[in-house]
């Protein structure tokens, strides 16, 4: 077992709000749910909010439904925490073998597997309460996502493409936001979903380059190891594909020029990531991974601005 002197996780930002303000009894559970690292729930939230914004514009609304935005945010925080808890239970032995993760609450002994499982149930109940606030089709759709979530932690053991499975799970909100508005699916959210999968593979490939040496030693597979020195060309293809699918979704939803302007600005942001990326510099990989929160805001702002002007 290995912990930092204050019990914090080694790869978390020092002095985060959990370290500073959370009561001592809560800190290990907050770290287990990654509340000290909000980038994860932002990345889970963005496809939801993009879908809500896209659906709102198609429905003739001036702005996205505030209740839906709030519910998806609560759900993203709860379910990202539940997913991380489940992932850490499954990966507890692997995490103990990787320098960056061995100080996490379970491998470091701060939280038992039983306590983690109980906390997983509590977070899942919050997510269920949020899900039950939507229409019946959206509820069914949300439950269907659990199959992908359940298998994801095992994929790094059997395929070089665990990031693809992560994309299937993390981009599910692209379907949910549209379903919450219309009670059904359509071609726009399906195109948005495909683009989100490619975007997720891209940003998580960058993230996975932090651990590639340890991953090779313990047998963890990833697109970072698969692409290797070809990571930048692979990211070009992935991000071009994502942008094309996002543009297709906007076209199918009959959005206006501001949505496409947002996508163009977002494409420049993704291009900047590729240009400055150094796959052998872990700190920079983490910084670029986190920069995708800004990309999410760019795309969302374009969709919202277009709906507000187009539906006046």
pLDDT of residue 234: 97
Q: What residues have CB less than 8 Å from 100, skipping those under 6 apart?
A: 10, 11, 210, 211, 214
The candidate with the shortest Cα–Cα distance to 201, out of 241, 252, 246, is 241
pLDDT of residue 1: 43
Low-confidence stretches of the chain (pLDDT beneath 50): 1-3
The candidate with the shortest Cα–Cα distance to 299, out of 4, 109, 49, 25, is 49
List pLDDT tens digits, range 73-115: 999 999 999 999 998 898 887 766 666 677 788 888 888 999 9
| Domains in the chain: ranges and CATH | 25-310 (1.10.357.140)
pLDDT of residue 232: 97
- Distance in angstroms (rounded) separating the CA atoms of residues 83 and 43: 13
pLDDT of residue 97: 65
pLDDT of residue 2: 47
Report percent pLDDT > 90 for the chain.
Answer: 71
> 160 near 225, Cβ under 8 Å?
yes
> 8 near 103, Cβ under 8 Å?
yes
- Distance in angstroms (rounded) separating the CA atoms of residues 211 and 200: 17
The candidate with the shortest Cα–Cα distance to 204, out of 143, 121, 273, is 273
> 129 near 142, Cβ under 8 Å?
no
The DSSP secondary structure of 236-252, one letter per residue, reads: HHHHHHHHHHHHHHHHH
- Distance in angstroms (rounded) separating the CA atoms of residues 302 and 36: 29
- Distance in angstroms (rounded) separating the CA atoms of residues 106 and 191: 38
- Distance in angstroms (rounded) separating the CA atoms of residues 181 and 173: 13
């Amino acid at each position: 077992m290995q912990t930092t002197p204050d019990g914090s996780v080694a790869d978390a930002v020092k002095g985060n709000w959990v370290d500073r303000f959370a009561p001592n009894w809560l800190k290990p559970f907050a770290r287990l749910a990654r509340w000290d690292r909000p980038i994860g729930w932002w990345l889970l939230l963005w496809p939801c909010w993009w879908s809500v914004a896209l659906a709102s514009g198609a429905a003739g609304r001036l702005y996205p439904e505030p209740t839906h935005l709030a519910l998806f945010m609560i759900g993203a925080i709860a379910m990202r925490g539940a997913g991380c808890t489940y992932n850490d239970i499954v990966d507890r032995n692997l995490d103990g073998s990787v320098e960056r993760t061995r100080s996490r609450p379970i491998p470091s002994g701060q939280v038992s597997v039983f306590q983690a499982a109980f906390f997983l149930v509590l977070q899942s109940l919050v997510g269920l309460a949020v899900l039950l606030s939507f229409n019946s089709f959206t509820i069914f759709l949300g439950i269907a996502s659990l199959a992908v979530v359940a298998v994801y932690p095992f994929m790094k053991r059997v395929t070089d493409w665990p990031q693809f499975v992560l994309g299937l799970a993390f981009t599910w909100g692209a379907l949910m936001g549209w379903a919450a508005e219309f009670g059904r699916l359509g071609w726009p959210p399906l195109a948005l979903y495909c683009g989100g999968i490619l975007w997720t593979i891209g940003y998580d490939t960058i993230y996975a380059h932090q651990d590639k040496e340890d991953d090779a030693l313990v047998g963890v597979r990833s697109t970072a190891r698969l692409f290797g020195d070809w990571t930048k060309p692979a990211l070009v293809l992935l991000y071009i594909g994502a942008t094309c699918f996002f543009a297709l979704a906007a076209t199918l939803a009959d959005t206006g020029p501001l949505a496409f302007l947002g996508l163009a600005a977002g494409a420049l942001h993704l291009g900047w990531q590729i240009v400055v990326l150094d796959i052998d510099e872990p700190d920079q990989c983490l910084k670029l991974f986190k920069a995708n929160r800004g990309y999410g805001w760019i795309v969302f702002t374009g969709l919202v601005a277009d709906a507000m002007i187009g539906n006046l």
